[in-house]
Amino acid sequence: MAGQHEMRDGACPPGACSERWPMDPVKTDRESSEKIAAGKRDSLTVTDNRTGKSYELPIEDGAIRAADLRQIKVEEDEFGMMSYDPAFTNTASCYSRVTYIDGDKGILEYRGYPIEALAERSTFLETAYLILYGELPTKPQLEEWTWHITHHTFIHESIKKFLDGFHYDAHPMGMLVSSVAALSTFYPDAKDIFNPDSRRKQTYRLIGKMPTLAAFAYRHSLGLPYVYPDNELSYSANFLNMLFKTTELKFKPNATLEKALDVLFILHADHEQNCSTSAMRGVGSSHVDPYSATAAATAALYGPLHGGANEAVLRMLLDIGSVKNVPEYIKRVKGGEKKLMGFGHRVYKNFDPRAKIIKQVAYEVFDVLGRNPLLDIALECERIALEDDYFVKRKLYPNVDFYSGLIYQAMSFPMTMFPVLFAIPRTAGWVAQWEEMLQDPEQKIARPRQLYVGDRRRDYVPIDERQ
């Protein structure tokens, strides 16, 4: 069965063969070359007080090039000045045209399209196309794209055996990380990363197979038989089918839940140079195949500081237990004893635009499945926090994770599946960023520098003489 779909890889799908691939390489010299030509180059003058020398560093797109600092040195044979930036909080590692964020204004755009418009009017597969190709697809392009993704959802039967080897209570994220990495052994052609046709095929496979791997991991944890993909269903409906189908001949998803999941997928599809995307680019920069790089990105997402915050929100709401306990909990947060999980964001300092959309989706889901009893606790936390000086002063607003966990819980997902539900749509963003990285002529293998502060050359001491 699995092979049947793969054998059709080369066949022409319905609709014209109209895909544009690869995407245009990211441009790196727009502004500066125009300005230099016009003699209007912006620059920064730096004076080194150790030597009294001044240096003029060009400013391009609001940044200086870190390598330009290397000319600043005291002695000629020195390495030259570096910038120190742990966690890269103020370092741009690339030019990108995929996702725009303005954290102060609460703006998130994929390829220039506001997240609000995409959540309301697009589908996840259309948005994934936009993220990857840079433009919204025409009708034939979308049909062709959907056909390709739909026909790459099956996984090799041996991967099922591989998944069977996991313990019954294996974390689904661990299973996902391992099985995505294992895909590279099934598709050795993926190593051909400078062949656009090969890259395109791996993109279909990755976006098509992630929900299948995720659903199989979930079914394994329950000891249930795996459910094969259903090509007649939408991307999110098919995922629900593979998760929840039992004895019925044909799985029919609830339209509201299907739409809700699709919107959540859209909201999580990309978020520029976050931890997992940086892992995708960093690992991919070694020219490894995209499955191995995606496994690294998925592993980064597994961490509680990244993909695991919505689980922390749910645990916090369970811990609070009742609306009447909220003021006491907020008091403890203000006293520095606790954190209000799902509040605050490194980038968004006004509001997280995704949180507004998710709150609306939550109400739609609860209309179908009944009100999640934790919702009232969440609403009370939000009400108090938004009026309280502590949170207002620090610009702490609900983030994307504040309500998503409640939705997932209402839809019967165990908490361990929450980061998996993040990894599926984020694959589109990871692959788009990987593609952009590979085509960027300025990118090389990622290799930061360090400031060495350890011991210098010492004599080796034989073991008997050591103190």
Where does this chain bind ligand ACO (CB under 6 A)? 306, 309, 333, 339-346, 394, 396, 399-401
Cα–Cα distance for residue pair 387/114, rounded to 1 Å = 28
By C-alpha distance, which of 365, 362, 371 is closest to 403?
362
Nearer to ligand ACO, 166 or 390 (CB): 390
Which residue's CB is nearer to ligand ACO, number 113 or number 402? 402
CB 338 within 8 A of CB 329: yes
Question: Is the distance from CB of 360 to CB of 404 less than 8 angstroms?
Answer: no
By beta carbon distance, the residue nearest ligand ACO is 344
Toward ligand ACO, which CB reaches closer, 240 or 381?
381
Sign, Cα dihedral of 111, 114, 118, 121: negative
Cβ atoms of 263 and 119 within 8 Å: the answer is yes
> For ligand ACO, which is the closer residue by CB, 229 or 398?
398
Residue 196 or 344 with smaller CB distance to ligand ACO: 344
Report the alpha-carbon distance of residue 130 to residue 135 in Å, rounded: 5
Q: Single out the catalytic residue among 345, 440, 455, 459.
A: 345
Q: Is 401 a catalytic residue?
A: yes
Q: Which residues contact 80 (CB under 8 A, 6 or more apart)?
A: 69, 70, 71, 72, 73
What's the closest the beta carbon of residue 126 comes to ligand ACO, in angstroms? Answer: 23
Does residue 148 have an active-site annotation?
no
Least Å distance between CB 64 and ligand ACO? 24
Rounded to whole angstroms, the maximal C-alpha distance in the chain is 80
Between residues 106 and 342, which has the closer beta carbon with respect to ligand ACO? 342
What span, in angstroms and rounded, lies between the C-alpha atoms of 219 and 196? Answer: 35
Quickly list H helices, 80-195: 115-121, 124-133, 139-150, 157-164, 172-186
Q: How far apart are CA 360 and CA 343, in angstroms?
A: 17
Residues 354 and 265: their CA atoms lie apart, in Å, by 11
Q: Which of 230, 306, 376, 388 is catalytic?
A: 306
Residue 381 contacts residue 337 (beta carbons within 8 Å): no
Residues 6+ apart with CB under 8 A from 239: 211, 214, 215, 261, 424
User: Which lies closer to ligand ACO via its Cβ, residue 155 or residue 358?
Assistant: 358
What letter represents residue 89's amino acid? Answer: T
CB of 438 to ligand ACO, least distance (A): 26
To ligand ACO, the closest distance from the beta carbon of 50 in angstroms equals 32
**Least distance CB 231 / ligand ACO (angstroms):** 32
Give the shortest CB-456-to-ligand ACO separation in angstroms.
Answer: 35
Q: Quote the least distance from Cβ 320 to ligand ACO, whole Å.
A: 13
Check if the beta carbon of residue 61 is closer than 8 Å to that of residue 27.
no
Q: Which of 68, 352, 401, 440 is catalytic?
A: 401
- Point out the residues that are catalytic: 306, 345, 401
